[in-house]
Amino acid sequence: MRRALLIAAAILVIASSSVTLALQRGPVGAPPDLQPTVILISFDGFRWDYPAKAPTPNLRQLMARGVHAENLIPSFPSKTFPNHYTIATGLYPGHHGIVANNIFDPPTGRTFAMAKREEVQNPMWWGGEPIWTLVERAGRASAPLFWPGSEAAHNGVMPHLWKAYDGNVPASARIDQVLTWLDLPAPQRPVFITLYFEDTDSAGHANGPDSPAVRAAIVRDDGYLGALMNGLTRRGILDRVNIVVVSDHGMAPIDDARVIVADDYLSTNDAYISDINPTLGVFPKPGKEDAVYRSLANANPHLKVYRKAETPERWHYRDHPRVPPIIGVADEGWQVLRRATVDAVKAGTIKGPRGTHGYDPMLMSMRATFIAAGPAFKSGVTVPPFENVSIYNVLAKILDVIPAPNDGDPAVARSLLRN
């Protein structure tokens, strides 16, 4: 009896020490065959100055270990879909074709919106060659989770692993999903992974960039990064994976007073409005182009109105057939709304937002975030602001794939990467 007890005790000791060992190693142990890997994280609407607004120990650790830009210059228009897809392709929105969150395509007569799943998954909208497509063509696996463009095939190529966007999936489940993908055996294990979190954008729209709600969202975002880094540490691969934190644009405070009512200057008989607030996309009906332009150009000193060919050169927004013939952009802090929206706010049916973006990328309020660390990146380096078209070349270099022709500046990769 005593002998049996002793054997049982010995088995327990051996079993528990192997459990401890397994825990130290993580679920699968540090994979010896880990290839150069990138986890690209987007915190939507995370303005460049947000790390200083709230405690962000994990972002600060990343900055200390790696590189960061004083700020990241978004592309015009400073909206979510155009900029995420610019980061993925290295092309300006006026070149990749996601020219706004809401788009009209004259050749087909189709309209695109973020919530139209069949359009989001329709390859016709998505030009260029996103980074995950290059990875797949090089015979490796990619896993963009909730990245605009990742739900559509590019020349027939889909990422190995992807999911249809669902804003209700909790942040913890997104992080767990990515860690589970990293636990796959080498051939299936993705070398390019993305994560996306809405928190700072949602809080910024609802409450404004200087609100306590935004500070709370900044802290949550930093916590997501911490949770991911903990998962990587448990697997023994924190310092073997490249983490790139970006945002798509910033956020400017707005109120219900600084409003331009589009209906006062534009009739639906004369023009089709493809996109509104704070930009205005206008397709005049045949023969109405000059009249519509004149009416809008004289509407309000806080609304800048351009013919497509006269938009600022730095926007690179003159060529694509989906760029509307007339484009309006409100001044920082101003909105362009439909009368119905203004009335609904006045009636209290909807609450007017307190923050928005979409303005000229040159404005500091529109500037975004770039922070990265890992074996490919220099350490403890701060670089001057650069445009988000340049991120593509950086990712391609780390992943050892040949980038498609793009709008990025190759000098940016040299300033950020070890070699």
Q: Which residues are catalytic?
A: 80
Around 202, how many Cα atoms within 13 Å sit in the side-chain half-sphere?
9
Cβ-closest position to Zn ion:
80
The site map against ligand AMP for 151-170 (x = CB under 6 A) is: --------------x-x---
221 part of the interface to Zn ion, by CB under 5 A: no
148 part of the interface to ligand AMP, by CB under 6 A: yes
How far lies 176's CA from each of 189, 234, 276, in Å?
A: 15, 13, 37
114 part of the interface to ligand AMP, by CB under 6 A: yes
Say how far apart CA 294 and CA 277 lie, in whole Å.
Answer: 20
When computed from its CA atoms, the radius of gyration of the chain, rounded to whole angstroms, is 24
Q: Which helix or strand (DSSP H or E) is residue 276 part of?
A: strand 271-276
Which of 199, 407 has the CB closer to Zn ion? 199
How far lies 281's CA from each of 273, 286, 328, in Å?
A: 6, 16, 7
Q: Work out what residue 202 binds among ligand AMP, Zn ion, none; the CB cut-off runs from 5 to 8 Å by kind.
A: ligand AMP
Q: 197 to 226, contacts with ligand AMP by CB under 6 A? A: 198, 201-202
Number of residues that bind ligand AMP (CB under 6 A): 14
Q: Work out what residue 120 binds among ligand AMP, Zn ion, none; the CB cut-off runs from 5 to 8 Å by kind.
A: ligand AMP
Give me the least distance between CB of 57 and ligand AMP, in Å please.
Answer: 26
Give me the least distance between CB of 388 and Zn ion, in Å please.
Answer: 12
Contact region with ligand AMP (CB under 6 A), list: 195-203, 231-239, 277-285, 288-296:
195-203
For the chain, counts of helices (H) and of strands (E): 13, 19
User: Tokens 């860690």 correspond to what residue?
Assistant: 179
Q: Report which of 167, 226, 231, 201 is spatially closest to residue 74, judged by C-alpha positions.
A: 201
80 part of the interface to ligand AMP, by CB under 6 A: yes
- Read off the DSSP letter of residue 310: G
Among 38, 39, 44, 69, binds Zn ion (CB under 5 A): 44
Query: What three-state secondary structure class fits 364?
Result: helix
Q: Do 385 and 70 form a contact (C-beta atoms < 8 A)?
A: yes
133 part of the interface to ligand AMP, by CB under 6 A: no
Q: Which residues pair with 43 in a beta bridge?
A: 197
Give me the least distance between CB of 357 and Zn ion, in Å please.
Answer: 6
Residues that bind ligand AMP (CB under 6 A): 44, 79-80, 101, 114, 120, 146, 148, 165, 167, 196, 198, 201-202
Residues that bind Zn ion (CB under 5 A): 44-45, 80, 201, 248
